[in-house]
Amino acid sequence: MKLLLTGCTGFIGRELIPLLIKEGHSLTVISRQSKEKLKTIANDPKINFIRMNPAESSSWNKEQIQNALKSCEGVINLAGEPIAEKRWTDDHCKEITNSRIETTKNLIKNLRNLKKSPKVLINASAIGFYGSNPQTEFTEENIHGDDFLANLCKEWESIAKNKPRSTRVLIVRIGIVLAKDGGALGKMLPIFRAGLGGPIGDGRQWMSWIHRTDLCNLINTSIKNSSWSGVVNGVAPNPVRMNEFSKSLGKILGRPSLLAVPGPILKLILGDGARVVLEGQNVKSQRLNKLKFNFNFPTINDAFKAILT
């Protein structure tokens, strides 16, 4: 298929783009990054690269992007500023919001103006949709929470669902994505390898995670399979508490995992963003069970062994 990609030159795109090329898809990649950044992911001359800020509506008026839209058969929208990497200042919260909401608004507006709509839209969301409650096991049946991230995800999904009538949409509420070259695990590895790792906060909070390879396979499968629509939770079937996550990581690395990171220190570093790590969520996917999606890495030990050995 001819696919249009946004937000795919980062952590997830490093594995997703090579997979899509291997599958034989033709790619147009939209990014604020330079073409040199894309070349570090896949140096393939057949990739059509458009450098633009998709959150700016005027950038969609260019002939190059309009031609790409007219010919595309599928869209993968993963655009969004990382959520738990900086303090949640007013400016950063605005950036977190605009990078998702404005990009998706502009995308949907332009898709609706096309004479021929794409067959499928895969749109990212996050398990932050559900809010935090340590006593609740969340599935796709649960309603949204009522905090900053929950309200952001609700609006983000609502905009994506306004896609053209003939376009199938799948919204993937993504959990903590694991790979060694970025994300939460990438930040933890140097600390654990130095023997200074341990659980964050009280260690009782849930971590609903997915190996990056499984997430990329999930996206790839959903492009091809017309029965994949609506909402799925992009999480492995076995969430773990932070204590178990830290213990398993330490064991694989042959390092102790005893030194807990106190919640107040994390709050000092990340401000409100620390809530994402300190509160956690127990999220499972009923939909992926029904769709019979096959995980390569269903347990945290499977994931860590694949990533680190």
Domain boundaries, the chain: 2-178+208-238+282-295
Ramachandran assignment for 80, one of left (phi > 0), alpha (psi -120 to 50 degrees), beta (any other): left
Distances (CA, A) of 231 to 42, 71, 142, 246: 29, 26, 11, 30
CATH class of 2-178+208-238+282-295: alpha beta
Strands 168-174 and 230-234 turn out to be parallel
Handedness of CA 197, 270, 232, 75 (dihedral sign): negative
pLDDT at 201: 84
Handedness of CA 177, 182, 274, 56 (dihedral sign): negative
Question: Which residues have a Cβ under 8 Å from the Cβ of 220 and sit 6 or more positions away?
Answer: 16, 19, 20, 23
pLDDT at 176: 93
Mean pLDDT by 10 residues, the chain (309 residues): 94 95 95 82 86 95 95 96 83 93 98 96 96 91 94 97 97 96 86 84 92 98 95 98 92 84 74 77 96 97 95
Residues forming a β-bridge with 5: 29, 76
